[in-house]
Amino acid sequence: MKSLAELAAIKEKMQNKVVMREGSGDIRVVVGMATCGIAAGARPVLNTFVEEVNNQGLSGNVTVTQTGCIGICQYEPVVEIFEAGKEKVTYVKMTSEKAKEVIEKHLKGGNVVEEYTMTNA
């Protein structure tokens, strides 16, 4: 059984990390989680970003958050990526597989995956 002791260990680890995190280059991944997004499959897309950002060691400068309806329900699941000093990138009709590709090429490699963006939909 998963124990609260494990959770306490996570706490110790994180408290040591906090200082290091401040001031790092921030990338924000925002997933639309209104009725339209949820019905179209946003939940697994969100969870893929949350888990993979952690697994790939990106959690230092990438935060994954949720938002309501972005207004383009026909293109859901929609993911927006905000990066300081760059234009917002909107990915549409996302899936877990596409999310993994975006993490690899865009978040890690710095190259926008044009074929999944709003402009190419």
Partner 1 sequence: MKELSLNILDIAMNSVKAKADTVWVTLTETADTFTMKIADNGCGMKEDFLKTVTDPFSTTRTTRKVGMGIPFLLLAAEQTGGSFEITSKHESEYPDSHGTVTTAVFNKNSIDFTPLGDIVSTVTTLIQGSPDIRWIFKHTMPKGEVSLDTNELKEVLGGVPLDNTEVILWIKGYLEEAYSETE
- Contact positions vs partner 1 (CB under 8 A): 1-2, 4, 6-8, 10-11, 13-15, 33-36, 38-39, 43-44, 46-47, 50-51, 53-54, 59, 64-66, 68-71, 73
CB nearer to partner 1: pick between 38 and 121: 38
Least distance in Å: CB of 1 to partner 1?
A: 6
Q: How far apart are CA 13 and CA 99, in angstroms?
A: 28
Least distance in Å: CB of 62 to partner 1?
A: 10
CB nearer to partner 1: pick between 47 and 117: 47
Least distance in Å: CB of 109 to partner 1?
A: 21
Least distance in Å: CB of 36 to partner 1?
A: 8
Q: What is the DSSP string of 4-57?
A: HHHHHHHHHHHHHHHHHHTTPPPEEEEEE-SHHHHHHTHHHHHHHHHHHHHHTT
**One-letter amino acid for residue 44 of the chain:** P
CB nearer to partner 1: pick between 39 and 115: 39
Q: How far apart are CA 82 and CA 95, in angstroms?
A: 19
CB atoms within 10 A of CB 50: 15
